[in-house]
Chain A
């Protein structure tokens, strides 16, 4: 017991909206270990760690640090006790550089003025010791996601934290970056730091952790030693039953070329090129998948295809017609649908009713509009149809969509876009954050489109999704394709290398 650094006892958490997040969880962390905290979405992993970090208060339960009972009211209290957390969404000021971000909140002053030199000296020393190299002087907005994560870790080390909690740290990283991160974590363990790795990825947890605690629906299932269990055991503990979720890939007849993109150049928000000379085609009756770590130009590509962003150079051809830089309306009217990435940011209007959202993008066309008039009756019956056909759980078509669950909101978007009978469907992160049944629903929708001879362009950072669904796929890195081919042609490792920025021929020659 002497080397137990953190002990959480019988932690309960009920959110104000009545959701039970934790139902009496015990958690024990030993000095100098890497401890995996494993569970599905909604199992309560993040809630438990946010309680330890002082960001939210438990409804009941006790926390001991090195044997002393503590009560944290805010993260600062936790940091004082040497506990720090890196969130999935980094808490960095994009307009500041790394140095300013690291210093923020603990700034040394000299003569009343900020002394960033002192920060720099200390951070450089930390970088030396841990191998976490970062460019300290450029704004965060120009750093890659992996680099930003390093800044976050440095921030905690600068605060002399002993316990690092990392919340799903690998979800935004390429396989190569993951390897580097794990190397760093091992190094930190050697230096005596204790690490909590919050994740839902079994293999990752097994590959680096000393011990693993599994949560399921707000309860602890078990804490096990990593070398004594296999992935199957963990999966069973996590899900509570033996499941392996798979969608059958249908062999479809591939039809004519529907979309042809040649040498496409698109700028990002910062004014630099985010898509750099992409060329590809999508045929009817096939799913063309684009894999890659988020933020490698996928958003810009999708927006350019749908008329939401200007194409600087190159062309987009749809069924033989040049549609480069047409308006969204013109592109929609030609038979292209989009399931956007950002549900409430792009796909839906939260305060509009289900009916009003159901006709978004078709509201100006018959039967929903007659001249300048909206046909409200027609819209309502259409919305009711969608609710029935696509099994959307909603109390009525007059409810604002902000009252629907995330899964049902996504169903509505998918329902709306599929119901238009598009020649080309662009699906961008279509299953992100969805539960199993909603995910299955969306994936089956894509497959049905394909079987009907329509073209589907699937862009997703979920590698498994792309590999399972696509007939052909490409891996995107920094605005370019690293490789393109049938999924069967690549090993998982090769795809991983491409996601990390190696081109296909380099990967193949490196392997041989």
Chain B
């Protein structure tokens, strides 16, 4: 029986870590290119909603996935514009995206499904395989692959070099003939696609419906994970598993500890763990130009 709890905890860890890792890697790309998007949560939530909606309409989860992809591209373009041509305040805009996504998705649920707070059930994406009766998602190997490829792209290719130069010293990048705005637009689109797909995963792979605020702060935990990972994709993979473990723990620890523990205690674990991680890491320095608009004369 303990075996089963352990196995389910491990599988749960893998499952919960996926959106954290994908979100963190997206934001690593962002900040490495000089963008700070704290709207991860919002774009994720939006992705979850649109994936469920698309799946519901077409009765096909792959269509839902495609919708989430398109939504990611749209958000990426919007935030790309905010962080470049519009010279916006990126933190404030990120907050706005979160508030908008929360309100909009909750507003749309009754308009579409006539229910409040949750959608109808939809078809999920097919699992890779089943293990002990638990689904193992395609997203799992893809997430690992993403981390490895991201690391290679960032450190071993000219695109990575250019991207990082935009986040460290956009003036130097510009002087070297690199279009800082182009790099930032592309990065923003790529990262927002990742956020959106992470949301889609939550909507139509991990779960089979959209529930209001279903991302539950994971976009912000991903933000903490970026700092924890020191802006490195492979460390985000490792750290994501650790964060995912605490996230998974909240669903299992009640069972493990028995009836005496109020459910709120395990629910708090991922949040408190995140704070403790931040405290343990202390002051860190990310890419020098992250979040700062680049003004070209």
Check if A and B associate.
Answer: yes
B-binding residues in A (CB < 8 A):
55-56, 74-76, 79, 87, 90-96, 100-101, 103-107, 109, 112-114, 155
Supply 9 A–B pairs (Cβ within 8 Å), ascending by A.
A56-B297, A74-B177, A90-B172, A91-B172, A95-B287, A107-B162, A112-B157, A114-B157, A155-B176
Query: Given contacts A95-B164, A109-B157, A114-B157, could you give 9 more A-B pairs where the C-beta distance is less than 8 Å?
Result: A74-B177, A79-B177, A93-B165, A93-B169, A95-B287, A96-B168, A101-B172, A104-B173, A105-B176
The distance in angstroms between the C-alpha atoms of A105 and B159, with both chains bound, is 9
Cα of A109 to Cα of B158 in the assembled complex, Å: 7
CB distance from B31 to the nearest CB of A (A): 13
- CB proximity to A under 8 Å, residues B132-186: 152, 156-158, 160-162, 164-165, 168-169, 171-178
A-B complex: 10 closest residue pairs judged by Cβ atoms: A105-B176, A91-B175, A107-B158, A76-B177, A91-B172, A104-B176, A105-B177, A93-B169, A93-B168, A95-B168
**B250: interface (CB < 8 Å):** no
CB distance from A323 to the nearest CB of B (A): 27
Chain A CB within 8 A of B288 CB: yes
By the criterion CB–CB under 8 Å, are A92 and B172 in contact?
Answer: yes
Where the two chains meet, the residues of B that have a C-beta atom closer than 8 Å to any C-beta of A are 152, 156-158, 160-162, 164-165, 168-169, 171-178, 287-288, 297
Q: Is the CB of B161 within 8 A of A91?
A: no
* B152, B168, B175, B297: most-surrounded residue (chain A CB, <10 A): B175
Across the interface, do A91 and B169 meet the contact criterion of CB distance under 8 Å? yes
Q: Which of chain B's residues has its CB closest to A85's CB?
A: B175
- A112–B159 Cα distance when bound, in Å, is 10
Query: Is B161 a contact partner of A100 (Cβ separation < 8 A)?
Result: yes
* Bound-state Cα–Cα, A155 to B160, Å: 19
B178 contact set on A, CB distance < 8 A: 104-105
Residues of B within 8 A of A76 (CB): 177
Which chain A positions have C-beta within 8 A of B162?
Answer: 104-105, 107
A96 touches B165 (CB 8 A): yes
Which residues of chain B are near A112, meaning CB under 8 Å?
Answer: 157
Alpha-carbon gap, A293 to B157, bound state (A): 37
**Nearest neighbor of A78 in chain B, beta-carbon distance:** B177
For B176, list chain A residues within 8 Å (CB). Answer: 91, 104-106, 155
B174 to chain A: which residues have CB within 8 Å? 75, 91
**Contact (Cβ within 8 A) A104 B172:** yes
User: Is A104 a contact partner of B297 (Cβ separation < 8 A)?
Assistant: no
Closest to A269 in B: B285
A113 engages B172 (CB within 8 Å): no
Report chain B residues within 8 Å CB of A92: 169, 172
Q: Are A114 and B173 in contact (CB under 8 A)?
A: no
The reply to whether A75 and B177 contact each other, CB–CB distance below 8 Å, is yes
Q: Evaluate contact between A93 and B177: CB separation under 8 angstroms.
A: no
Min distance, Cβ A48 to any Cβ of chain B, angstroms: 15
- In Å, the complex CA distance between A103 and B152 comes to 18
Asked if B157 and A104 sit within 8 Å, CB to CB, the answer is no
A95: chain B residues within 8 A (beta carbon): 164, 168, 287-288
Which of A74, A93, A100 has the largest count of B CB atoms less than 10 A from its CB? A93
Chain A residues contacting B288 (CB-CB under 8 Å) are 94-95
8 Å CB contact of A113 from B156, B164, B171: B156
The reply to whether B161 and A104 form a contact with Cβ atoms under 8 Å apart is: yes
B169–A113 CB distance below 8 A = no
**Which of B152, B162, B173, B177 has the most A CB atoms < 10 Å from its CB?**
B177
**Distance, CA A106 to CA B175, complexed state (A):** 12
For A107, the chain B residues whose CB sits under 8 A away are 158, 161-162
Give B292 Cβ to nearest chain A Cβ, in Å: 15
Task: Please indicate the chain A residues that have their CB under 8 angstroms from the CB of B175 in the complex.
Answer: 75, 87, 91
Interface centre among B152, B165, B174, by most chain A C-beta atoms within 10 angstroms, is B165
Task: Report the minimum CB–CB distance from A337 to chain B (whole Å).
Answer: 31
For the complex, what is the distance from the CA of A91 to the CA of B162, rounded to whole Å?
14
- Name which residue of chain B comes closest to A108, CB basis: B158
List B contacts of A113 (CB < 8 A): 152, 156-157
Q: Which residues of chain A come closer than 8 Å to B171, judged between CB atoms?
A: 91
Q: Which residues of A contact B173 (CB under 8 A)?
A: 93, 104-105
Min C-beta distance of A44 to chain B, whole Å: 16
* Interface contact B156-A114, CB-CB below 8 Å: yes
Q: Look across to chain B and name the residue whose beta carbon is closest to the beta carbon of A50.
A: B297
Closest to B166 in A: A93
Task: Check B161 against A114 for contact (C-beta < 8 Å).
Answer: yes
Expressed in whole angstroms, the minimum distance between the Cβ of A177 and any Cβ of chain B is 22
Could you tell me the distance between the alpha carbons of A155 and B168 in the complex, rounded to whole angstroms?
A: 18
Across the interface, which residues of A come within 8 angstroms of B156, CB to CB? 113-114
- Contacting residues, chain B, for A105 (C-beta < 8 A): 162, 173, 176-178
A387 to B172, CA, bound (A): 40
- A129 CB to closest chain B CB (Å) equals 22
Distance from A47 Cβ to chain B, minimum over Cβ atoms (Å): 11
A116 CB, min distance to chain B CBs, angstroms: 9
The reply to whether B168 and A94 form a contact with Cβ atoms under 8 Å apart is yes
A95 to B174 CA separation, bound complex (whole angstroms): 16
Write the nearest CB–CB distance from A360 to chain B, whole angstroms: 25
Chain B's closest residue to A116 (CB) is B161
Closest to B179 in A: A74
Tell me the complex Cα distance, A443–B156, Å: 53
* Min distance, Cβ B171 to any Cβ of chain A, angstroms: 5
What is the chain A residue whose CB lies nearest that of B155?
A114
- Asked if residues A104 and B165 are in contact (CB atoms below 8 Å), the reply is yes
Interface-centre pick from B168, B169, B174 (highest chain A CB count, 10 A)? B169
| CB of B227, distance to nearest CB on chain A (Å) | 17
Residues on B with C-beta less than 8 A from A74 are 177
Compute how far the CA of A155 lies from the CA of B169 in the bound complex, rounded to whole angstroms.
16
Docked CA distance A141–B287 (Å):
14
Chain B residue at minimal CB-CB distance from A103: B161
Residues of the A chain whose Cβ atoms lie less than 8 Å from the Cβ of B177: 74-76, 79, 105-106
Task: Give bound CA distance, A76 to B169, whole Å.
Answer: 18
Bound together, the chains give a CA A90 to CA B165 distance in angstroms of 14
Task: Give Cα A492–Cα B16 distance, bound, in whole angstroms.
Answer: 69
Name the CB-closest residue of A to B176: A105
Once the chains are docked, how many angstroms separate the CA of A94 from the CA of B169? 8
Query: From residue A82, how far is it (CB to closest CB) to chain B in Å?
Result: 14
Task: Please measure, in the bound complex, the distance between the C-alpha atom of A100 and the C-alpha atom of B156, giving whole angstroms.
Answer: 11
B87 to chain A, nearest CB (A): 16
Specify which chain B residues have a CB less than 8 angstroms from the CB of A106 in the assembled complex.
Answer: 176-177
Measured between beta carbons, the chain B residues less than 8 angstroms from A114 are 156-158, 160-161
Q: Give the docked Cα–Cα distance between A55 and B152 (Å).
A: 33
- Report the minimal beta-carbon distance from A231 to chain B, rounded to whole angstroms: 33
Chain A residues with Cβ below 8 Å from B160 are 114
Give every chain B residue within 8 A of A104 (Cβ-Cβ).
161-162, 165, 172-173, 176, 178
User: In whole angstroms, how far apart are the Cα atoms of A308 and B165 in the complex?
Assistant: 31
